[in-house]
Structure 1
Amino acid sequence: MATKPLQRKPEWLKIKLNTDDNFKDLKNMMRSKTLHTVCEEAKCPNIHECWANRTATFMILGDICTRACRFCAVKTGLPTELDLQEPERVADAAAQMGLKHCVVTSVARDDLKDGGATIFAETIRAVRSKVPFCGVEVLIPDFMGDEASLQIVMDAKPDILNHNIETVERMSDHVRAKAKYSRSLELLARAKKMNLDIPTKSSIMIGVGEEWDEILQTMDDLRRHDCDIMTIGQYLQPTRKHLAVEKYYTPEQFALLKEEGMKRGFKHVESGPLVRSSYHAHEQVRSASQTSAP
């Protein structure tokens, strides 16, 4: 794939790194329990802020993804193992951290019959067992459109069902690998039909070549499929081998997108240059709950 040089980031994308004792303790704990976090694997720009506050997004099912999306820094290849004890270790870590809201995501595991849905469900139950008052949000892959796999996750009753549509329809095949725009929308709609009481959530990254009207259309598409929460963030090129940044949006433009989303009926919209799907996740849930209140 042709590559472009990394662009100089605007001032509003520059962050101060903070590797204090909380950050170091959390990193050591993750290593001791042989756990992965999307914070590290996907080179999230908020890792120092979130880890300093002792929050993290656990990445289950290993650290090798069966897909090779052009935006993602997670390693790709053929996974060699399935760790059946991982749910218990995630729950132990959540308890040790004293989490009030736990986010669990994964690599894509197209090599597994259920796409890893059973491990997701067991992780939800394990966290609930060891940390009863902790909310559990799952950020799932599309399971290749398999309805039975989605049902396994929904039966475990996560507090939030999150699946990222990632980009606008026109750019989807260029940006994502194997995933389909329409299939992502269908998954969100199916989740609502399976359990109307579980809020759904999705995210897009902007700056990969989309037009403003296409972002608004994506909002409309998500709302048409009854998606409750939306997050919008700036795409950042992780390495020169990945998709290049086509545009940096300003904080003012992100604020306008938040307004557009709220006008369309989302219960909460998190929109900003450094926003990622799980950024301030516990605050998103609280805001959405207050919006739903009579």
Structure 2
Amino acid sequence: MSAPTDPKLRHPEKAKRPDNPIARKPDWIRVKAPTSKEYFETKELMRGMSLSTVCEEAACPNIGECWAKKHATFMILGATCTRACAFCNVATGKPDNLDPHEPLRVAIAIGKLGLEHVVVTSVDRDDLDDGGAQHFVETIQQIRRRSPKTTIEILTPDFKNKPGAAETIAATPPDVFNHNLETVPRLYPSIRPGARYFGSLQLLARIKEIDPAIFTKSGIMVGLGESKEEVGQVMDDLRAADVDFLTIGQYLAPTPKHAPVDRFVTPEEFQQYEAMARAKGFLMVSASPLTRSSYHAGDDFRRLREARAAKLAAAE
């Protein structure tokens, strides 16, 4: 089920904070409101099957484009997060009990949409002994049974203080394992206070260590007050963890109660970041104002496989 739409109910921990001004978006980052028939068909399917999507819950600016193509990023483990990150629009609070039928409903919806590639993400579930790792596994298994040709990308929480979570997921591997660092380590106390930068790096490194065949992916937002040098250091840290794919996008404040936008990074700067990342050895880089973790994920996955094949061929 979808979380409340009222910001005071979605983010009670932020309700008493003073409002931050919402900066006017530059021309290069504006998007049109969704109006397509396919968009509304996708929305009806999600509501009819009581499924949540990060497209809606996180107020993604690309929802109109993606849903018009019947591409959606499924959000499992409910619609209420146990954390309260300063950048995120997903509702915070005490989550409901796990729905044991959710993995099957996700798999059925994927079949109805005819997806070649799917992204499955989740809220943080610090209340669960494994952080929800087994629920991810069950979702992967249901998708494999019902849509064996669909490639699967999962975007997981950090599973902080949940021993064995990485091993649980790697035993039933997705095609792509994604976990976002979100920002530079200096900004973690204010932007991602419930997380630990090096814990997230260790999770990515551990997945690759267990199964080197799994593509690993991570992403950050810019425009939160980070420096170019700090972004470069994050790139180096991710390469040290053998991460294959990096995404970089512009941070947009969901409401006046969230962290303010420090500045809008220009398209030219994104091009510079992409060049930096490619020079550091990432197989794939997606860097633009509207880049999000699952934006064009299917096309990117095909290019990712081609890039690995080309790299292996060159090494022979």
Q: Give the alignment's TM-score, normalised by structure 2.
A: 0.92
**Letter in structure 1 aligned against 2:168:** I
**Is the 8 Å Cα contact of residues 34 and 63 (structure 2) preserved in structure 1?**
no
1:226, distance to aligned residue in structure 2 (A) = 0.4
- Counterpart code for 1:94: I
| Aligned AA (1:216) | G
CA distance in structure 2 between the partners assigned to 1:228 and 1:38 by the alignment? 23
2:21 is the counterpart of 1:5: yes
- Residues 1:134 and 2:150 aligned together: yes
1:247, 1:217 → 2: CA distance?
20
SS state of the match for residue 25, structure 1?
A: helix
Alignment-mate amino acid for residue 86 of structure 1:
E
1:151 alignment partner in structure 2? 167
SS at match of 1:144: coil
CA contact (8 A) 2:83 2:194 kept: yes
Please report how far the alpha carbon of residue 174 of structure 1 lies from its aligned counterpart in structure 2 after TM superposition: 1.4
Q: Is the 1:192–1:198 contact (alpha carbons within 8 Å) kept by the matching residues of 2?
A: yes
Distance 1:276 1:114 in 2: 27
Establish whether residue 268 from structure 1 lines up as the match of residue 284 from structure 2.
yes
CA distance in 2, matches of 1:172, 1:231: 18
One-letter amino acid matched to 1:193: E
Does the alignment pair 1:280 with 2:296? yes
Residue-by-residue CA offset, 1:156-190 (whole Å, 9 max, x unaligned): 11000000000011111210031110000000010
Listed one character per residue, the Cα deviations across residues 115-147 of structure 1 (whole Å, up to 9, x for unaligned) are 111110000010111011000000000111434
2:227 paired residue number: 211
Match of 2:89 among 32, 56, 73: 73
Q: 1:145 & 1:226 partners in 2: Cα distance? A: 22
Pairing 1:126-275 to 2, within 5 Å after superposition: 126-275=142-291
Residues in 2 aligned to 1:217 and 1:147: alpha-carbon distance in whole angstroms: 28
The 1-side partners of 2:97 and 2:31 are apart by: 36
Contact 1:65 1:78 in 2 (8 A): yes
Residue 157 and residue 68 in structure 1: after superposition, are their counterparts in 2 closer, same or farther (change >3 A)? same
Match of 1:59 in 2: 75
Contact 2:130 2:163 (8 Å CA) reproduced? no
Q: Which amino acid aligns with 1:19?
A: T
Give the distance between the partners of 2:61 and 2:88, measured in 1 at CA.
13
| Equivalent in the alignment of 2:43 | 27
CA distance in 1, matches of 2:221, 2:198: 17
Aligned residues: 294
Q: Is the 8 A contact 1:87 1:126 kept in 2?
A: yes
**SS in structure 2 at match of 1:136:** strand
- Residue identity over aligned pairs, in percent, reads 49
- Residue identity matched to 1:31: R
Aligned to 1:47: 63
TM-align CA RMSD:
0.9
Shift of 1:66: 0.1
Q: Structure 2: which amino acid aligns with 1:54?
A: K
| Uncovered stretches (5+) of structure 2, i.e. residues with no partner | 1-16
For residues 25 and 292 of structure 1, what CA distance do their matches in structure 2 show?
Answer: 36
- Give the structure 1 partner of residue 12 of structure 2: none
- Match of residue 4 from structure 2: none
Superposition pairs for residues 80-119 of structure 1, below 5 Å?
A: 80-119=96-135
> Is the 2:87–2:254 Cα contact (8 Å) retained in structure 1?
yes
Which aligned segments of 4 or more residues in structure 1 are displaced greater than 4 angstroms? Answer: none
Mapped to 1, the partners of 2:265 and 2:18 lie a distance apart of 24
For residues 250 and 93 of structure 2, the distance between their equivalents in structure 1, rounded to whole angstroms, comes to 26
- What letter is aligned with 1:50? C
Q: Secondary structure at the match of 1:143?
A: coil
The 2-side partners of 1:78 and 1:245 are apart by: 28
User: Which stretch shifts more, 143-152 or 20-29?
Assistant: 143-152
1:51, 1:155 → 2: CA distance? 31
Counterpart CA distance in 2 for 1:4 and 1:216 is 28
